[in-house]
Amino acid sequence: MTPNELSYTDPKAWKDIYGHRNGIPENEKDASQNFDADKAHPSIIHADKEMHSKMRRLLANAFSDKSLREQEPVIKQYVQVLIRRLREQAEAGNTVDMVKWYNYTTFDVIGHLALAESFDCLQNSDYHPWVSAIGAAIKFGGYARAINRVWSQGGPMVQKLLATFIPRPVQEKRARGLHLTQEKLDRRRANDPPYTDLLTNFLKAEREGTLHPRDVDSNGPVIVIAGSETTATLLSGATYYLLTHPDVYKKLVHEVRSAFTSADEITLSRVNALPYMLACLDETFRVYPPSMNSHPRRTPPQGATILGQHIPGGSLLGMSHYATHRSPLNFAEPDKFIPERFIDTEDPRWANDKREALQPFNYGPRNCIGRNLAYIEMRIVIAQVLYHFDLELMPESKNWLDQKVYLVWEKNPLFVRLKPVA
């Protein structure tokens, strides 16, 4: 929090701060939050209203439910490799760090869908150097976000001074990651795949001269990070909460194993019919949102009306997912993991829950376009893992939630013992 900044938890504020505002100037993104390497050609996250709308239109078809259903075989292909690798580890008697394996899977999937080439993390059972640099890029963003907030009030000399506090290894890894990203994007430009991927329309617009190549370059790493790291974070959180809540774990395992007689039956249409799984995922989003911090907006010069109150122009507004999701004003027993709150909505215990407060993909015209992809991956991965294995949390991961946060959680290893189901 800074001077002239307000943070809200009332779910009605989602619309007032982030929603469409017919005939009223919108609350713009706070420029101090732009830590893109190329400020002149920012990514879709930091682009102005006009450019954001253009970029979103170019991505919309690729992220539509119809297009992603066509990519289901690709997702299942990598999940099958995940299951094989986990089985190898289990049969060797090894405990498994599920954080790594979920990251391997989501990065391989997004590499295929966005760049037409996998990172081969699952194949090699290790991180690709580019993926290793992602963590540094996220950490850099956390530092840069804080520094830019000071710079916006203290001038460029303050920014230059504070930039020295970003650890050099973080800066070097980020630079390496940007270089590797450029190499991958250039290969993607030179070799169109025989299918439509997430960058197809971006590159088509580039060739037609309606989108600058640097706009594509800025969005490549954003699409990869947003389409992988946050999904892996939610999968890791869901696994931890399931294994620390045995009754919930048993109930979900029963739902999965009673729904399928073979792994081949685990399709998107079938997992979409598992209500308790969706409740578990939504409850994980509530207590462990991958993006827990606020996404600030700045009020226009004439000010804005938020929850019926006038807020002066130039003020910063935001809603922290973590604070909103865990507010006792929005949810009963907010710090407890209780998926039933999203199913037994008539239960007196949850009847007054404000479920509209849950907005893990943000709200309004700038909400996350990758929502459908995330839910597809999460449902298929969780279903396959629970169908094939019994899981046990290892003692060294009992306090797994003791984590730092930059832009997303800096996850600890999540050690689990897997027992293949006969």
Kind plus residue range of the DSSP H or E element containing 200: helix 200-207
Tell me what percent of the residues of the chain surpass a pLDDT of 90.
Answer: 68
Chain-centroid distance, C-alpha 186: 25
Which of 382, 384, 383, 371 has its CA nearest to residue 68?
371
Cα separation, 307 vs 313, in Å, equals 16
Q: What count of other Cβ atoms lies within 10 Å of the Cβ of residue 363?
A: 18
pLDDT tens string 225-246: 888 989 999 999 999 999 999 9
pLDDT of amino acid 160: 65
* CB neighbour list of residue 33: distance below 8 Å, 6 or more residues apart: 46, 145, 148, 295, 296
Collect the ranges in the chain with pLDDT lower than 50.
none
Copy the structure tokens of residue 325: 């999701």
- In whole angstroms, give the CA distance from residue 89 to residue 73: 25
Give the pLDDT of residue 35.
60
Task: Output the six-digit token pair for 352.
Answer: 């007054």
Judge whether 224 and 107 are in contact, CB under 8 Å. Answer: yes
Q: For 292, which DSSP code?
A: -
Whether 368 has a binding-site annotation, put simply, is yes
Pair 72, 376: CB distance under 8 Å: yes
Q: Where are the alpha helices (DSSP H) in 61-97?
A: 65-70, 72-91
Helical H segments across 5-61, by residue range: 12-18, 49-60
What's the pLDDT at 163?
A: 63
The Cα 246–Cα 375 span in angstroms is 23
**Look-up of token digits 């046990």:** 392
Say what the pLDDT of residue 156 is.
Answer: 61
Give, as one character, the DSSP assignment of residue 6: E
Structure tokens at 78: 């990598």
Q: Is 129 helix (H, G, I), strand (E, B) or coil?
A: helix
The whole-number pLDDT of residue 151 equals 62
pLDDT in the model for residue 180? 81
Show contacts of 158-167: CB within 8 Å, 24+ apart: 166/140
Phi-psi region of 192 (alpha: psi -120 to 50; beta: other; left: phi over 0): beta
Amino acid at 19: G
Q: Which residue has the tokens 């919108």?
A: 26
What single-letter DSSP state applies at residue 347? Answer: S
pLDDT value, residue 33: 66
Domain 5-19+44-420 sits in CATH at 1.10.630.10
Q: Whose CA is closest to 220, among 187, 260, 266?
A: 187
